[in-house]
Amino acid sequence: MTQPGGPAFHAVERSKVYSSVVDQILASIRDGRLPPGSALPAERILANQLQVSRGSLREAIRVLEHAGVLDVRVGSGTYVTLDSGSDTTILRAQAAMIGEHSPLDLMVARAAIEPVCAEHAARSHHPSDLQAIDDAVTEQADVTRAGGDPSEADAAFHLAVAVASHNGVLVALQRTLNDLMHEQTWSDLKHRSRSRSHASEAYLEHHQLVLEAIRQRDPRRAGQLMAMHMSAIETGLLAELGHDG
């Protein structure tokens, strides 16, 4: 416990030297200097070339291995994977550098869970659940028409659908997904994709259709519509990545 009048200590920011190493390796992959299947120089040589400690180099390699960019083979070396230049893999590596999750990985999880939430909401919702979903859609519509950021109303809609399923595990999973959607990598990419081609209006319409299917207690249609919504979001994210490239 800090004594009254004593020094106020703050957490020391972790060194990000390894992030520069990650950036350089990714740049070398993008421009073809490290083609898929090629081996990285030995650790001692690469650390010397980059003028970094071997600890920082190992941390960078760990991040890139976790992201699927590198394949570390004990006793053989470190190799660039065949899909190392894909948008999915590079985005995963960039997110991992700052301790976050790839938006495209998050979409895989959402596509697996949210259509099921919608199906069960259509079967199990109570009148109060329907009102909560409706309120979220109304708020989203108001914010969208005013040209604001509908992210919070959007998240409230997806959580309200999960709550309407009356399945505690699905609700817990949806809360986790909503928390992950507060990460900066997701927020930045989603904001940019939402700003293109009237995507906000399209997503609002998707929500309205899902709401109507739930209201009509049509599990099959509710699930299908939510799956189509997830696919549209993923397509928008991928289009934004392609635009960046």
Asked if pLDDT for residue 243 goes beyond 70, the answer is no
pLDDT of 220: 98
Asked if pLDDT for residue 86 goes beyond 90, the answer is no
One-letter amino acid at 58 equals R
Percent of the chain beyond pLDDT 70? 91
Residue 176 binned pLDDT confidence (cut-offs 50, 70, 90): very high
pLDDT of 63: 86
3-37 pLDDT, tens digit per residue, is: 455 455 444 344 567 778 888 888 888 888 888 89
Q: Which region among 78-92, 185-199, 217-231 has the lowest average model confidence (pLDDT)?
A: 78-92
Asked if pLDDT for residue 82 goes beyond 80, the answer is no
88-118 pLDDT, tens digit per residue, is: 787 888 788 777 888 888 999 999 999 999 9
Helix/strand/coil percent split, the chain, to 5: 70, 5, 30
Which pTM was predicted?
A: 0.74
Backbone angles phi, psi at 38, to 5 degrees: -80, 155
How are beta strands 77-80 and 70-73 bridged, if at all?
antiparallel
pLDDT of 197: 63
pLDDT of 67: 82
215-234 pLDDT, tens digit per residue, is: 999 999 999 999 999 999 99
229: left (phi over 0), alpha (psi -120 to 50) or beta: alpha
Domains of the chain (ranges, CATH numbers): 17-97 (1.10.10.10), 103-244 (1.20.120.530)
Mean pLDDT of the chain: 87
What are the beta bridge partners of residue 90? none
Question: 50 and 21 in contact (C-beta within 8 Å)?
Answer: yes
Q: How far apart are CA 126 and CA 104, in angstroms?
A: 33
pLDDT of 118: 98
pLDDT of 117: 98
